[in-house]
Structure 1
Amino acid sequence: MAKNLLKSLILTSKSVKNKSSIGIPSVLFSRRLHMGDATPKEIKIPVKWGHVSGKLWGNENEQPILALHGWQDNAGTWDTLAPLLYKKRPILAIDFPGHGLSSWYPPGMVYYPWEFARLIIYIKQYYKWEKISFLGHSMGSIAALRFATLFPDEVTFYIAIDSLIADDYDLNAVIDKYPTNVLKMQKAQSRLNDEPPSYTLDEIIKIWHKSTRQSVAMDSAKYLLKRGSKPSMSDPNKFYFSRDSRLKHMLFNPEDKRFVEAIVKRLTCPTLYVKGLDSPFASDDFSVEMRELIKKTNPKFDCHLVPGTHHIHLNEPEKVANLILPFYEKYNLIK
């Protein structure tokens, strides 16, 4: 039964994307986010290279929290947590460019993490929000922190799941990987129109599970696959990963430790950080040092270490919701 449900979700996702390629309904481009109370509403935000897709939970007349997913994931990462939160504050979860149902960058272009932080500026300006609130995971958390530290007066609050800073401050380690990544990126540019390898449903679930170091539980993979896979054109019983393959070879910007330290000192908004104790990320000495620095410089920094993987918000959403709701109350973030 679970397999049939997942297949239905993937086929539905394909149908939505096909429709958008034929002609995106004008209502999806409205600056007012239309949303019922029961299920999320698919939205599309026009950009120069196409559109940014997303889904909205909650009251259309209230400004939503902007939810940002992790590297190579998509807005489906919030499918289990958002239903526990949206009645308090609506949530708009987007697919970053190249992810989920969002448009890919044009051929010849590459993806840089700091560009995702700049995308936040565009979304904020598009909806004419005076201030912005964040719910981020992994790469999405890092993008949100970068925005929150560059524009501290424009952020109401920031909720981060498992990551605060990037894991790319070891300059020698990053530079050692650059030659290989540059060559792989160049190769990926020539394959943008080729269908990637396809797999059976069981296989693609296992691949997603294993590729995240078992962080995404097998039962949780269906939420990401709904927006992150498509049926093969040659064999409709098989599926392939539909995200832009150039994402695999992103050139993560080397960041000097002094630069990172200067950034985190500028985090002043109410911040909730939830760290999965079973996650290998943000567990090194420098990440811990930066976390302690934020505690010293930001009196509104709440940190919780919780048993769970890097995707704790997806696998065990109740654990995270039970921390977010008191955070809302503590800083008077809900009406």
Structure 2
Amino acid sequence: MAKRILNQLLFSNKIKFPITTRRFSHNTNQVQTKEIQIPVQWGHIAAKLWGNENERPILALHGWQDNAGTWDPLAPLISKHRSILAIDFPGHGCSSWVPPGIHYYAWDLPRIILYLKEYFKWEKISLLCHSMGAIAALRFSCLFPDDVDFFIAIDSLVADDYDLNIFIDKYPSVLRKINLQQTRLNEEPPSYTLEEIAKIWHLGTRKSVTMESAHILLKRGAKQSKKDPNKYYFSRDSRLKYTLFTPEKKIFVETLVKKLICPTLYIKAIDSPFSCDEFSVEMREIIAKNNEKYECHFVPGTHHVHLNTPELVFPLILNFLQKYNFHSI
């Protein structure tokens, strides 16, 4: 049903897509970058800044088990118009893991956004987000509507609607695996050659992340093995694999998204299986009905379209920033 609606939207607008080619280099040497660490009670949040450090940046948030490197191809393009600060969420990339005995909770991510806003003393916050980061940012934007000047989301807005029976059936196994991972926090995970680990990341995303893009993510997502210096292992917290994504009632999500009032750009990748269910489509329709500054665009590509083909999303983002005069602050 959702796929049929998506096709109707695409073909009714007679959209013609360009041939997908890389017209932009992933080389970020021409753009000033800076690595920073933001202190938190359990350690630090790592971040990468592109552009002018004297202006308020756009806060860029990555997806589940990815890292700030997901913005490496796109951030240099945007930072010529507005600086970008991309964080590694806790447990991801170069950020600290949560303490032993603690687990990751999806609703803690909006609190992280609030913490960053307060830490940097930003009057407003600007958001560029993908997947898990976009879901977290939507929740923040709805809870704190006066604190967000704009929100850009790529391929996700709300958590997909899944069969509750599947969730409940999997919970016992997930809880056991969570407890098991708590006992392995000091152990080095299995290691691989660079090509092997890139292929694992590529296939683990059902080829959503290309092999080239996997190598980009590995810059922050892998560490050299202490047992074999020719091999590498995934450096993210293994507890992330077993995060409990709790389904939410329709009336709750509907009430939430009605609070989204800031200018919002949603970019949907048409080859992605995410956010295509009827529930997600209906929530987007509610947003469009209640927010006159909401716009949606469809582009060819996988869930990681911004990472694999930044040239497809950059013009849309630039037009959006210029439309609302957010390209320089």
**So what's the TM-score if we normalise by structure 2?**
0.89
Q: What residue number does 1:167 align with?
A: 160
Q: Residue 44 of structure 1 contacts residue 52 of structure 1 at CA under 8 Å; is this kept in 2?
A: yes
Q: What residue number does 2:270 align with?
A: 277
Shift of residue 234 of structure 1? 0.8
Give the Cα–Cα distance (whole angstroms) in 1 for the partners of residues 81 and 310 of structure 2. 16
Q: What residue number does 1:33 align with?
A: none
Report the aligned-residue RMSD: 1.2
Question: What does 1:222-241 correspond to in 2, within 5 Å?
Answer: 222-241=215-234
* 1:298 aligned onto 2:291: yes
Q: What residue number does 1:44 align with?
A: 37
Shift of residue 176 of structure 1? 2.3
Q: What residue number does 2:62 align with?
A: 69
2:119 counterpart (117, 126, 146): 126
Shift of residue 174 of structure 1? 2.2
One-letter amino acid of the counterpart of residue 52, structure 1: I
Give the Cα–Cα distance (whole angstroms) in 2 for the partners of residues 176 and 305 of structure 1. 34
Shift of residue 223 of structure 1? 1.2
* 1:97 aligned onto 2:90: yes
Shift of residue 175 of structure 1? 2.3
Give the Cα–Cα distance (whole angstroms) in 1 for the partners of residues 194 and 272 of structure 2. 26
Q: Secondary structure at the match of 1:113?
A: coil
Q: Deviations over 1:254-277 (max 9, x none)?
A: 211111111111111000000100
Check 1:140–1:175 CA distance in 2 against 1; reply closer, same or farther (3 A cut): same
2:110 counterpart (82, 105, 117): 117
Q: What residue number does 1:8 align with?
A: none
* 1:242 aligned onto 2:243: no
Shift of residue 173 of structure 1? 2.9
Give the Cα–Cα distance (whole angstroms) in 1 for the partners of residues 175 and 247 of structure 2. 14
Check 1:62–1:37 CA distance in 2 against 1; reply closer, same or farther (3 A cut): farther
2:145 counterpart (139, 148, 152): 152
* 1:260 aligned onto 2:253: yes
Q: What residue number does 2:312 align with?
A: 319
Q: What residue number does 2:81 align with?
A: 88
* 1:221 aligned onto 2:207: no
Q: Deviations over 1:106-164 (max 9, x none)?
A: 00000011111110111100000111010000000001000000000000000000000
Identity %: 68
Q: Residue 152 of structure 2 contacts residue 266 of structure 2 at CA under 8 Å; is this kept in 1?
A: yes
**So what's the TM-score if we normalise by structure 1?**
0.88
Give the Cα–Cα distance (whole angstroms) in 2 for the partners of residues 39 and 261 of structure 1. 41
Q: Secondary structure at the match of 2:247?
A: coil
Q: Residue 169 of structure 1 contacts residue 256 of structure 1 at CA under 8 Å; is this kept in 2?
A: no
Residue ranges of structure 1 left out of the alignment (5+ in a row): 1-35
Structure 1: which 4+ aligned runs deviate by more than 4 Å? none
Shift of residue 200 of structure 1? 1.2
Give the Cα–Cα distance (whole angstroms) in 1 for the partners of residues 128 and 94 of structure 2. 20
Give the Cα–Cα distance (whole angstroms) in 2 for the partners of residues 183 and 257 of structure 1. 29
Q: Residue 37 of structure 1 contacts residue 58 of structure 1 at CA under 8 Å; is this kept in 2?
A: no
Q: Secondary structure at the match of 1:262?
A: helix
* 1:210 aligned onto 2:185: no
Give the Cα–Cα distance (whole angstroms) in 2 for the partners of residues 67 and 258 of structure 1. 29
Check 1:113–1:168 CA distance in 2 against 1; reply closer, same or farther (3 A cut): farther
Give the Cα–Cα distance (whole angstroms) in 1 for the partners of residues 164 and 85 of structure 2. 35
Q: What residue number does 1:20 align with?
A: none
Residue ranges of structure 2 left out of the alignment (5+ in a row): 1-28
Check 1:301–1:157 CA distance in 2 against 1; reply closer, same or farther (3 A cut): same
Shift of residue 171 of structure 1? 3.3
Shift of residue 330 of structure 1? 1.2
2:190 counterpart (197, 203, 208): 197
One-letter amino acid of the counterpart of residue 325, structure 1: L
Q: Residue 37 of structure 1 contacts residue 59 of structure 1 at CA under 8 Å; is this kept in 2?
A: no
Instruction: Work out the number of aligned pairs and report it.
Output: 300
* 1:58 aligned onto 2:51: yes
Give the Cα–Cα distance (whole angstroms) in 2 for the partners of residues 99 and 208 of structure 1. 14
Q: What residue number does 2:321 align with?
A: 328
Q: Deviations over 1:195-228 (max 9, x none)?
A: 1011111111110000011000111111110000
Q: Residue 189 of structure 2 contacts residue 234 of structure 2 at CA under 8 Å; is this kept in 1?
A: yes
Give the Cα–Cα distance (whole angstroms) in 1 for the partners of residues 104 and 309 of structure 2. 30
Q: Residue 155 of structure 2 contacts residue 275 of structure 2 at CA under 8 Å; is this kept in 1?
A: yes
Q: Residue 318 of structure 2 contacts residue 327 of structure 2 at CA under 8 Å; is this kept in 1?
A: no
Shift of residue 39 of structure 1? 3.0
Q: Residue 267 of structure 1 contacts residue 294 of structure 1 at CA under 8 Å; is this kept in 2?
A: yes
Q: What residue number does 2:133 align with?
A: 140
